[in-house]
């Protein structure tokens, strides 16, 4: 009886495909998944359960660079379910030669050639292509002008800004100047906030918060063009 039921199920034809795409972003949609499976002759609708290649479908979907994970299964009624988890970009990098990439939360690189644009901070300025080359080769640290550029440190800092409501709304861009120092570019205004390197960035941001809460209300801050946080125990403001 069991073998009969199994054989009967294997002869069932898949008549519907259900999609679930989990992400805060929209790099891919159901039409993209359809095209991926169709071009590899893996699209399940119209095939019997016995003809379905569920693992091959998962592998084909996961070749898309914006997809982190795919799970495909078939229920007892021959409905196929495709569950997709997209990658989560945290930062967009624009190099001096205009190479343009996202970096996700697992330090993976993604191109930006999508209909959808992720609303994430931008790292730009004197960003060398060698940083991306080293990163692609599996070395996430690049030494330039006596400064170590570690992608994990940069991502950690961006994540720190994102998780702080005040900083998340205030800063949209991280800039590397000609001295290979990190600068913060605010969403509104033309001030430059110099961090130097990313060592002790939480301490530096606390100094900046103190300035905003105590000093600037008293002395004003709109006239200051540069706020330098890189020195220990002091903040240097220039008009």
Q: In what order do the strands lie in the sheet with 80-86?
A: 17-22, 80-86, 67-74
- Give the mean pLDDT of 34-63: 94
Residue intervals in the chain for CATH 3.40.50 = 89-238
Q: Are strands 89-94 and 100-104 parallel, antiparallel or unpaired?
A: antiparallel
pLDDT of residue 215: 63
CATH number of the domain located at residue range(s) 89-238 in this protein: 3.40.50
Q: Evaluate if residue 106 carries a pLDDT over 90.
A: no
pLDDT of residue 216: 66
**How confident is the model over 65-103, as pLDDT tens digits?**
999 999 999 998 889 999 999 999 999 999 888 888 898
pTM of the model: 0.80
End-to-end CA distance of the chain: 86
Q: How far apart are CA 7 and CA 140, in angstroms?
A: 52
**How confident is the model over 133-185, as pLDDT tens digits?**
777 766 666 666 666 677 888 888 998 998 898 898 888 899 999 888 899 98
pLDDT of residue 20: 95
Q: Evaluate if residue 2 carries a pLDDT over 50.
A: no
Exposure of 22 in the CB half-sphere (CA atoms within 13 A) = 8
Q: Are strands 122-125 and 89-94 parallel, antiparallel or unpaired?
A: parallel
Residue 154 near residue 93 (C-beta atoms within 8 A): no
Q: Which CATH class is domain 2-86?
A: alpha beta
Only one residue has tokens 């918060």, namely 209
Q: In what order do the strands lie in the sheet with 89-94?
A: 109-111, 100-104, 89-94, 122-125, 171-176, 182-186, 192-196, 226-228, 236-238
Residue intervals in the chain for CATH 3.10.20.310 = 2-86
* Lowest mean pLDDT, pick from 1-5, 20-24, 208-212: 1-5
């Amino acid at each position: 009886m069991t073998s009969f039921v199994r054989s009967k199920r294997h002869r069932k034809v898949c008549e519907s495909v259900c999609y679930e795409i989990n992400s805060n972003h929209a790099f891919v949609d159901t039409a993209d998944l359809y095209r991926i499976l169709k071009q590899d002759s893996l699209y399940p609708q119209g095939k019997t359960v016995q003809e379905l290649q569920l693992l091959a479908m998962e592998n084909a979907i996961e070749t898309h660079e914006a997809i982190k994970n795919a799970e495909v299964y078939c229920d007892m009624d021959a409905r196929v379910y495709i569950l997709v988890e997209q990658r989560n970009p945290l930062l967009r990098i624009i190099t001096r030669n205009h190479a343009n990439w996202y970096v996700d939360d697992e330090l993976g690189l993604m191109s930006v050639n999508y209909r959808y644009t992720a609303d994430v901070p931008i790292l730009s300025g004197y960003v060398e292509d060698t940083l991306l080359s080293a990163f692609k080769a599996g070395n996430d640290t690049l030494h330039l002008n006596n400064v170590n550029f570690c992608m994990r440190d940069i991502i950690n800092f961006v994540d720190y800004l994102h998780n702080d409501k005040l900083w998340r709304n205030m800063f949209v861009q991280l800039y590397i100047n000609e001295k290979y120092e990190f600068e913060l570019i605010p969403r509104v205004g033309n001030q430059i906030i110099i961090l130097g390197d990313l060592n002790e960035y939480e301490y530096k941001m606390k100094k900046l918060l103190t300035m905003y809460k105590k000093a600037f209300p008293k002395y004003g801050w709109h006239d200051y063009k540069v706020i330098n946080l890189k020195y220990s125990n002091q903040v240097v403001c220039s008009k």
